[in-house]
Structure 1
């Protein structure tokens, strides 16, 4: 078990064949499953006292694909919460313009991946069939936006409807562990994405109650989305470092 967390550690480095696949254009080997350091870091970071008073003593299962982490009857998977949509098929019309706006996009993309796959860019969610991970990625009003996901969780604690209402309610026993939205945010070091009073999300782009397409629609929006996510990632890494490496 690791004793400290290096918030600058790049989880692609110990993910087998990740960069070999990247260079050939093949499907990536997923650090969220195959990086042993990420798995250890997630276990260490969240094995602490829950807001409800219980100890969240996470354990590693035998197979990271199926038993990544578990506690009592809960099973958890790791999920990257930073996304630039460069491989989104329906957005290639925009991505081609984005690539033209960035000098040496291949180098830019590699630097982005290495930074986004640090601990500040990762979360754990309950794992089961049609889990939060899957639903937030496939829901047309969310499209893997973590700021939108967090807004749905905020509304869950307020008993308000949201595009992820059904899946969040199915994980009711998990969310009860944190008592309220503040407890959830504090536990997972998400403070830099909410206002000080915990009443609002600091959205990456202008928010209109889930009515607009969550994906960027212009090159400027893409850059704004990228910059906002990286700002959050760096702030969260700093927060984690200050908390756990005292």
Structure 2
């Protein structure tokens, strides 16, 4: 079966009913499913199944050992609310372009939605930590440091996920 190509210019605002596309867009959910469902290095298939938790569109991966849920988030935070002077200084055209590009699949990624020990998810921690403040460049640096066995503002959160994923995840959403 040949699937149609993904339209990388699609802005997912159109099918989310004016709400957050990361939570409410079935089209974005289907794009993520097509992008991230694939064979893993051990040969097992990462088969992401579309589901809804309440009204929220998520993807679930379930094996006999693991059960976790992924949800989408934007990588292109404008800091409109937290840094209004910076946002205004960028100008209307620049901000409009930023939001348009950030609204496409290139501006989105999936993160584990499972809460471990009722603590923040990776995505929540990256969004609220005062040294990261939802910046994806700093999130990537924290992940790089995690794999290099160095500390970062996300060390505790990433360690918690690494420990649980090694023994299976219980879903608490």
In which range does the TM-score fall when normalised by the shorter chain?
0.7 to 0.9
* Structure 2 equivalent of residue 84 of structure 1: 78
Following superposition of structure 1 onto structure 2, how do residues 108-187 of structure 1 map, counting pairs within 5 Å? 108-129=94-115, 130-172=120-162
Following superposition of structure 1 onto structure 2, how do residues 3-82 of structure 1 map, counting pairs within 5 Å? 3-16=4-17, 18=18, 29-63=19-53, 65=55, 68-72=58-62, 73-82=67-76
Deviation at 1:35, TM superposition (A): 1.3
Moved over 6 A (4+): none
Aligned-residue Cα RMSD (Å) equals 2.2
* Structure 2 equivalent of residue 95 of structure 1: 87
Contact 2:51 / 2:60 at 8 angstroms: preserved in 1?
Answer: yes
- Structure number with higher strand proportion: 2
Cα displacement string for residues 71-116 of structure 1 (whole angstroms, at most 9, x for unaligned residues): 010111101111221122xx224334x15xx3xx1x5433332221
Deviation at 1:170, TM superposition (A): 1.6
Are residues 65 and 52 of structure 1, via their aligned partners in 2, closer, same or farther at CA, if it must alter by over 3 Å? farther
CA distance in 1, matches of 2:20, 2:28: 11
SS at match of 1:153: helix
Contact 1:7 / 1:119 at 8 angstroms: preserved in 2?
Answer: yes
TM-score (norm 2): 0.80
CA distance in 2, matches of 1:80, 1:55: 26
TM-score (norm 1): 0.58
- Structure number with higher helix proportion: 1
CA distance in 2, matches of 1:75, 1:81: 19
Are residues 67 and 174 of structure 1, via their aligned partners in 2, closer, same or farther at CA, if it must alter by over 3 Å? farther
Following superposition of structure 1 onto structure 2, how do residues 212-231 of structure 1 map, counting pairs within 5 Å? none
Aligned residues: 156
Contact 1:77 / 1:127 at 8 angstroms: preserved in 2?
Answer: yes
SS at match of 1:171: helix
SS at match of 1:133: helix
CA distance in 2, matches of 1:5, 1:175: 30
Unpaired runs of 5+ residues, structure 1, are 19-28, 177-246
CA distance in 2, matches of 1:117, 1:174: 32
